[in-house]
C-alpha cells in the first residue's frame, strides 16, 4: 500500500493525498474526509522520513526517454537520478525507442509499477498527433517534461527557449557577414521544429537547398550529408540542431580546405572534445533537471507550482566561432 493506491481509491491525485498527509489547508473538508477514510480503511502508515520532506511516501519516480545512449538523455538521466536520490526517491528508467507503440508501452509499464510521478526526457517522446497515452497517464500520476510540455491537468514542464536561441545564432552569424548558412538537423521532433523555425525566421537570404535532414545522429552520416551539400552549394557558415551533426559537417567543410563559423547545439562533451573545439548553444540541461526536480518535489508535497517554466539558452563561443576573425 502506497500513496498511489490511496489516491486511486479516493479518486483524487497523489498531490491531494500529499496535502492531506501534510495537513495542508488547501484541501476541502469533504475531500480531506474522503482521503482520511481511505487511509484508515487501508491501514496506510506514511514513512516518517518522507513526511518530513512533505512527500508522503518514498516511492519510485519513473524516467522515460527514447535512447539512453544519446549524450543528452544519458546526461539528463544521471543528473535526475542523483538529485532525486537526495530526496530519498528511487528511479525506474524506461528507454522506449522512438516508435509510438513502444512509447505507449513504456508509459503503461511505469504506471503498472505505480510510480509516484514520471519525468519525460526530451520532445522525441511526443511524436505524431496521438498523445492520448500521456493525457491519460496524467490522470493517474503527475507528469513532468524536460523540453516537453502539454497543456493538460497533471502535466508540468521545464523547457529551453530553443527557437529563440537558434534565431539569435543566425543573427550573430549574419552580423559577421555570413549569408549562406547551412543547417543540419535530424528527426521531426517538436524540439527540432522549434530550432528550424528559429533558423528560418532569422534568415535574410533564405535558401532551402542549404537545409539538410541527416538520417542519424552520427558524425559520419552527417559528414557524408554535408559533403554532398558542399559539392553543389556554397556555404559560409554551419548551424546544426545537435553537436554531433555540427562536428561531422565541420569536418566535411574542412576537407575542402575551408574553415567557416560553425555552431552546434546542446553544449555537450563533444563540443569540448572536438578539434577545433566547437561553439555550441547551451540549452542549460543541468538547470532544466534541477528545475523539474524542484517542480516534482513541490507537487508531491502539495504545493502550487507553475505548470510551465521557460529557460533562456546561452551561446558558448569556442574555436569554431570567429566573429570578427579571418
* Measured distance CA(210)–CA(310) in Å, rounded: 30
Instruction: Please compute the mean of the pLDDT values over residues 268-277 and round it to a whole number.
Output: 94
Q: Residue 224 belongs to what domain range?
A: 162-283
Segment holding 143, helix H or strand E: strand 143-146
Q: Is 208 inside any structural domain? A: yes
Q: Is 290 exposed, middle or buried (0-12, 13-18, 19+ CB in 10 A)?
A: middle
- What total number of domains does the chain contain? 2
Which DSSP state fits 151? -
pLDDT band at residue 302 under the 50/70/90 scheme: confident
Whether 21 has a pLDDT exceeding 60, the answer reads: yes
Domain boundary among 58, 82, 102: 58
The answer to whether the beta carbons of residues 238 and 261 sit under 8 Å apart is: yes
- Taking the CA atoms of residue 176, residue 177, residue 180 and residue 183 in that order, the dihedral angle to the nearest 10 degrees is 10
Backbone dihedral angles phi then psi of residue 291, each to the nearest 5 degrees: -65, -40
Name residues whose C-beta falls within 8 Å of residue 266's C-beta, 6 or more positions apart in sequence. Answer: 71, 72, 242, 243, 280, 281, 282, 283, 285
64, part of any domain: no
- N- to C-terminal Cα distance for the chain? 67
57: pLDDT strictly greater than 90: no
Distance of alpha carbon 97 from its chain centroid, rounded? 15
> Percent of the chain, pLDDT > 90?
73
Does residue 3 sit within a domain?
yes
CB 253 within 8 A of CB 184: no
Residue with cell 522520513: 49
Choose one of 15, 40, 58: the last residue of a domain.
58
Report yes or no on 11 lying in a domain. Answer: yes
Tell me the per-residue pLDDT of 238-272, one tens digit each, with 9 for 90 and over.
999 999 999 999 999 999 999 999 999 999 999 99
Q: What CATH number does the domain containing 22 carry?
A: 1.10.260.40
Q: pLDDT-based confidence at 182, cuts 50/70/90?
A: very high
The verdict on whether omega for the bond into residue 197 sits within 30 degrees of 0, i.e. cis, is no
Read off the pTM: 0.82
DSSP 83-126: HHHHTT-EEEEEE--S-HHHHHHHHHHHHHTT-SEEEEESGGGS
The DSSP letter of residue 202 is H
Q: For residues 15-38, give the mean pLDDT.
A: 82
Residue with cell 505507449: 104
- Grid coordinates of 174: 549574419
- pLDDT surpassing 80 at residue 213: yes
- The residue-averaged pLDDT of 61-69 equals 96
Q: Identify whether the C-beta of residue 122 lies closer than 8 Å to the C-beta of residue 65.
A: yes
State the pLDDT at residue 24.
72
Task: Give tens-digit pLDDT for 131-164.
Answer: 999 999 999 899 999 999 999 999 999 999 999 9
Q: Using 50, 70 and 90 to split pLDDT, how confident is the model at 46?
A: low
Flag whether 66 is in a domain: no
Is pLDDT larger for residue 15 or for residue 39? 39
**Does residue 115 form part of some domain?**
no
Average pLDDT over residues 176-197: 95
Rounded Cα–Cα distance for residues 124 and 283 (Å)? 16
Asked if the model's pLDDT at residue 313 lies above 50, the reply is yes
Mean residue pLDDT of the chain comes to 90
| Model pLDDT, residue 235 | 95
pLDDT in tens, 69-97: 999 999 999 999 999 998 889 999 999 99
Nearest to 163 by CA among 241, 215, 237, 249: 241
Indicate if 166 and 278 belong to the same structural domain. yes
Q: What is the mean pLDDT of residues 120-137?
A: 92
Residue 210 covered by a domain: yes
- Look at residue 123 and tell me whether its pLDDT is greater than 80: yes
**Is residue 117, in this structure, part of any structural domain at all?**
no
Q: How confident is the model over 289-296, as a mean pLDDT?
A: 96
Q: What angle do CA 292, 295, 299 make, to 5 degrees?
A: 145
| b/e sequence 141-163, b meaning 16+ C-beta within 10 Å | bbbbbbbbbbeeebbbbbbbbbb
Rg (CA), the chain: 23
Name the residue with higher pLDDT: 43 or 91.
91
Q: Assign 227 a pLDDT band (cuts: 50, 70, 90).
A: very high
CATH number of the CATH domain containing 255: 3.40.50.2300
Amino acid at each position: 500500500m502506497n500513496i498511489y493506491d490511496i489516491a486511486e481509491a479516493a479518486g483524487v491525485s497523489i498531490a491531494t493525498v500529499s496535502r492531506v498527509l501534510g495537513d495542508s489547508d488547501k484541501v476541502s473538508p469533504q475531500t480531506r474526509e474522503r482521503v482520511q477514510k481511505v487511509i484508515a480503511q487501508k491501514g496506510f502508515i506514511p514513512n516518517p522520513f518522507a513526511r518530513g520532506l512533505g512527500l508522503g511516501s518514498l516511492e519510485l519516480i519513473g524516467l522515460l526517454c527514447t535512447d539512453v545512449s544519446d549524450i543528452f538523455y544519458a546526461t539528463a538521466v544521471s543528473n535526475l537520478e542523483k538529485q532525486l536520490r537526495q530526496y530519498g526517491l528511487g528511479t525506474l528508467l524506461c528507454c522506449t525507442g522512438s516508435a509510438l507503440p513502444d512509447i505507449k508501452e513504456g508509459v503503461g509499464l511505469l504506471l503498472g509499477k505505480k510510480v509516484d510521478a514520471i519525468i519525460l526526457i526530451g520532445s522525441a517522446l511526443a511524436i505524431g498527433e496521438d498523445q492520448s497515452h500521456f493525457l491519460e497517464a496524467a490522470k493517474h500520476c503527475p507528469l513532468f517534461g524536460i523540453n516537453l510540455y502539454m497543456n493538460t491537468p497533471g502535466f508540468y514542464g521545464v523547457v529551453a527557449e530553443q527557437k529563440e536561441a537558434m534565431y539569435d545564432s543566425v543573427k550573430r552569424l549574419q552580423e559577421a557577414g555570413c549569408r549562406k548558412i547551412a543547417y543540419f538537423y535530424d528527426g521531426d521532433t517538436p524540439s527540432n521544429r522549434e530550432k528550424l523555425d528559429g533558423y528560418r525566421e532569422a534568415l535574410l537570404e533564405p535558401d532551402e537547398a542549404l537545409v539538410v535532414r541527416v538520417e542519424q545522429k552520427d558524425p559520419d552520416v552527417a559528414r557524408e550529408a554535408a559533403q554532398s551539400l558542399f559539392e553543389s552549394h556554397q556555404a559560409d557558415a554551419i548551424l546544426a540542431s545537435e553537436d554531433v551533426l555540427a562536428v561531422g559537417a565541420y569536418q566535411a567543410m574542412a576537407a575542402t580546405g575551408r574553415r567557416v563559423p560553425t555552431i552546434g547545439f546542446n553544449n555537450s562533451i563533444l563540443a569540448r572534445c572536438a578539434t577545433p573545439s566547437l561553439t555550441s548553444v547551451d540549452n542549460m540541461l543541468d538547470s532544466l533537471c534541477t528545475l523539474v526536480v524542484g517542480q516534482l518535489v513541490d507537487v508531491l508535497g502539495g504545493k502550487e507550482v507553475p505548470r510551465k517554466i521557460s529557460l533562456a539558452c546561452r551561446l558558448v563561443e569556442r574555436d569554431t566561432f570567429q566573429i570578427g576573425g579571418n
